[in-house]
Chains A and B, each alone.
Chain A
């Protein structure tokens, strides 16, 4: 299984600001995924990040709001831009574990926007 380090683990931010979340994997992986988990809800995929190409965003999520970088096969960042209280959630990074996509998760970033 992959070991995923995600930081920060939590943050409290002012509305209108941006936060960049980092995700580091201990091995090279083809695909990295960013999820959002709103309070009391399940996980919703934001986007899929492949190295060397633009991220693929799910319906309801746009690049201007959630820009993603994937500079190499072990690292990715997700930025939450121009934050509002509605962006308060846990943000999770996960990686593709192989042919059958065993997804492993980072520890998550608990974001509170005030």
Chain B
């Protein structure tokens, strides 16, 4: 079983729609969760992090965490073509400070 799982996509949404990206993780003791955006040929850029159960909103982005279900998601409202990128979910596993990354979900926003 992979430690952090994401649907590879591509996920295609029309401009202005809500994009929903999902991630599950295996380590029940995981403490912190991160979403990165990576444009082709660029390094990952941190866009959201969440530590507590529930929702965390930042502009058009909302991160949702459910530790009981070992599930974290990222919602992007009013999706723009510039949001087209690969979104990486990363989890800080209980047994160390290192992050474990999912394989990433490719998001395509069509204008």
Which chain A residues have a beta carbon within 8 Å of chain B's beta carbons?
A: 1, 31, 33, 41-45, 48, 90, 92, 96, 100-108, 110
CA distance A41 to B99 in the complex (A): 16
User: Are B51 and A100 interface neighbours, CB within 8 A?
Assistant: yes
State whether A43 and B44 are in contact (beta carbons under 8 Å apart), knowing that A101-B97, A102-B49 are contacts in the complex: yes
Chain A residue at minimal CB-CB distance from B92: A101
User: Are A106 and B43 interface neighbours, CB within 8 A?
Assistant: yes
State whether A92 and B43 are in contact (beta carbons under 8 Å apart), knowing that A31-B97, A33-B98, A43-B88 are contacts in the complex: yes
On chain B, the residues within 8 Å of A105 by CB distance are 43-45
User: Are A103 and B43 interface neighbours, CB within 8 A?
Assistant: no
CA distance A44 to B103 in the complex (A): 10
Q: Which of A31, A42, A45, A106 interacts with B102 by CB under 8 Å?
A: A42
Known pairs A31-B97, A33-B99, A96-B97 / 5 extra A-B pairs, C-beta < 8 Å: A42-B88, A42-B101, A45-B98, A48-B96, A100-B92
Interface centre among A45, A103, A107 (most CB of B within 10 A): A103
Q: Is B34 an interface residue (CB 8 A)?
A: yes
Which chain B residues have a beta carbon within 8 Å of chain A's beta carbons?
A: 31-32, 34, 41-46, 49, 51, 88, 90, 92, 96-104
State whether A43 and B101 are in contact (beta carbons under 8 Å apart), knowing that A105-B43, A106-B43, A108-B43 are contacts in the complex: yes
CA distance A90 to B39 in the complex (A): 13
Chain B residue at minimal CB-CB distance from A6: B43
Interface centre among A43, A106, A108 (most CB of B within 10 A): A43
Q: Which of A43, A104, A106, A110 interacts with B46 by CB under 8 Å?
A: A104
CA distance A108 to B41 in the complex (A): 9
On chain A, the residues within 8 Å of B88 by CB distance are 42-43
On chain B, the residues within 8 Å of A96 by CB distance are 97
User: Are A103 and B34 interface neighbours, CB within 8 A?
Assistant: yes
CA distance A101 to B94 in the complex (A): 12
On chain B, the residues within 8 Å of A108 by CB distance are 42-43
On chain B, the residues within 8 Å of A100 by CB distance are 31-32, 49, 51, 92
